[in-house]
Structure 1
Amino acid sequence: MSSRIGLSSYAFFWQLSDQVSNPLSIHDTLRRAADLGVDLFQICDYAPLETMDDDDLAAVRTTADQLGITLEVGTKGIHPEHLRKFLNIAGILGSDILRTMFNVPGHTPTNEEAVAIFTDVLPDFEAAGVRIAVETYEQVPTQRILDVITTVNSPYLGICSDPANTVAALEMPRQVIDAVEPFVLNMHIKDFAFSRKQGWVGFTYSGAPLGEGLLDYDYMVEKIQPKTRNINQIVEHWLPWQDTEAETIRLENQWTQQSLDFLRSK
């Protein structure tokens, strides 16, 4: 194992969506990743994954294998049935990690409930060699997530670190990085910035090209030490829709290339 740079389906957010006239398939994005010299791809919050049968999933795995790409899987929610469903998906795709988040509409577990769920499902995950990485984000205070993880106390449960998300809950990125550092299993890499709205009325908080926003990447890496700890770094974007489809796609691809160049230069 070693720390690798990967792309997320979030790096192709608009091109995978029905907002564009010719949406990419997941097979297309894998080919694009291979063209960019990437050998790791995280299929994250990609709705069609849940409706694929085992044959469809096996076909995705075949495409990835042919391209020399390792797959990772991400979803939302910790309902036991949902986690076990995604354990099966991870098994077919060959993912050794499942990124998730605590809350989904209709299920916002308490700490006690989350501890009980993870305690229940983790033996199955451990037997399959799949770790669960809970992402830091604004809906659940980081300390709450850490309380659950430390209570469960398993090497198969940890953090997917993304300090960009927590700013919306007024958790500062450096504080989040410091708090989660011992528990990180996976890293989402996206830059972020505030810009003044028109007329100087408020701000928009959204993505920025990697290296140009507020993410203190060097500090984050110094703390988390992904290379020594074999933690993969997965590129995502928060790119707002642009004036046209063509410009949105052009910029999405440009940000992806810039992110890869930035990470490879480190």
Structure 2
Amino acid sequence: MSTIGQGSGNRSRIGSGSRIGLSSYAFFWQLSEKVSEPISLHEALERTADLGVDLFQICDYAPLEAMSEAELKDIRATADSLGIALELGTKGIRPEHLRKFLRIAGILGAPLLRTMFNVPGHTPTPEEAVAIFKDVLPEFEAAGVRIAVETYEQVPTARILEVIRSVGSPYLGICSDPANTVAALESPREVIDAVAPYVLNMHIKDFAFSRKEGWVGFTYSGAPLGEGLLDYDYMAGKLQPKERNINQIVEHWLPWQDSEEETIRRENQWTQQSLDFLRSK
């Protein structure tokens, strides 16, 4: 993919080097109603800054869509005050939905929107997806915002790549997450190899299989980064995030633990381990 400049309103510029960032998925349980005192997005940003991280991807965070312009500007102000750049993540490619998130990206100063093809009620064909992206991408290009389609089990990686190649725009690429594709029996290494030329963003989470009780099947779930099946060194060698200025966003697949306190403790522990791991590379 060729490098492209960003609009003057965006805080983060392509060519400024790869960043390690946190996703709202790194605070999945703490942001949820499952805990007795959910944290706010502002608090998640503050904790991100406390960890020495200057990039945060607000990904699949449902309350964002209902926020007023003033509330979104408050999020931007908090991020600015903490020296944190923002990215966005959503699901779906309906034109009106993409344009809604382009507006949100403009308010937040986010130069990248991660999305996925399918949502309930809309599973676009490759031809429809190509038509949608060709329709909306001139507006994204004018705003300096790229779209990164995530690899995941609901849509074969080859089909996603077919769409991206057909559109042929540097403003449309891949958000790489090989953990997702295992559920479709796609090999992580094969997915990494296939998407490498088109990657704009990386989701970093480890994963593992464990035997279920009685040895009747397996559970496929998250693992602390560096302890599971993700071959990070292979992935980094293929995708070259530092050389290609691709941001690496930390996520988790952490199952709920025996208690709220243990879940929060483990979530924070996994985040710190992920940061330590990535900073050591």
The TM-score bracket by the shorter chain reads over 0.9
- CA–CA separation in structure 1 for the residues paired with 2:120 and 2:205: 25
- Please give the secondary structure, in 1, of the residue aligned with 2:92: coil
Gaps of 5+ in 1: none
Deviations 1:197-245 (A, max 9, x none): 0000000000000000000000000000000100000000000000000
**1:122, CA displacement in angstroms?**
0.1
Whether 1:218 aligns to 2:233 is yes
**Aligned residue for 1:35?**
50
Question: 2:33 corresponds to which letter in structure 1?
Answer: D
**How many angstroms apart in 1 are the aligned matches of 2:69 and 2:93?**
21
Does 2:117 align with 1:127? no
Q: Which residue is equivalent to 2:11?
A: none
Summarize deviations over 1:140-170 as a string: whole Å, max 9, x none.
0000000000000000000000000000000
Paired AA for residue 52 in structure 2: G
- Equivalent residue in structure 2 for 1:240, among 255, 263, 268: 255
Residue in structure 1 matched with residue 115 of structure 2 by the alignment:
100
Q: Match of 1:13?
A: 28
| Cα distance in 2, alignment partners of residues 212 and 89 from structure 1 | 36
Q: Distance in 2 between matches of 1:172 and 1:90?
A: 33
Which residue in 2 is equivalent to 1:162?
Answer: 177
Secondary structure in structure 2 of the residue aligned to 1:212 = coil
Q: TM-score normalised to the size of structure 1? A: 1.00
- Report the residue type matching 1:239 in the other structure: L
Identify which of 197, 201, 217 aligns with 2:216: 201
1:109 matched to which residue of 2?
Answer: 124
Find the residue that maps to 1:122 and give its secondary structure. Answer: helix
Any gaps of 5 or more consecutive residues in structure 2? 1-15
RMSD: 0.3
Q: CA deviation at 1:53?
A: 1.0
Runs of 4+ displaced beyond 3 Å: none
Amino acid at match of 1:236: E
Deviation readout 1:29-87 (Å, 9 max, x if unpaired): 00000000000000000000000011100000000000000000000000000000000
Kindly, what percent of the aligned residue pairs are identical? 82
Out of 21, 44, 48, the residue aligned to residue 63 of structure 2 is 48
Give the TM-score normalised by the residue count of structure 2: 0.94
Equivalent in the alignment of 1:252: 267
CA distance in 2, matches of 1:77, 1:221: 28
| Residue 168 of structure 2: aligned partner | 153
2: CA distance, partners of 1:196 / 1:24: 33
Instruction: State yes or no: 1:137 paired with 2:152.
Output: yes
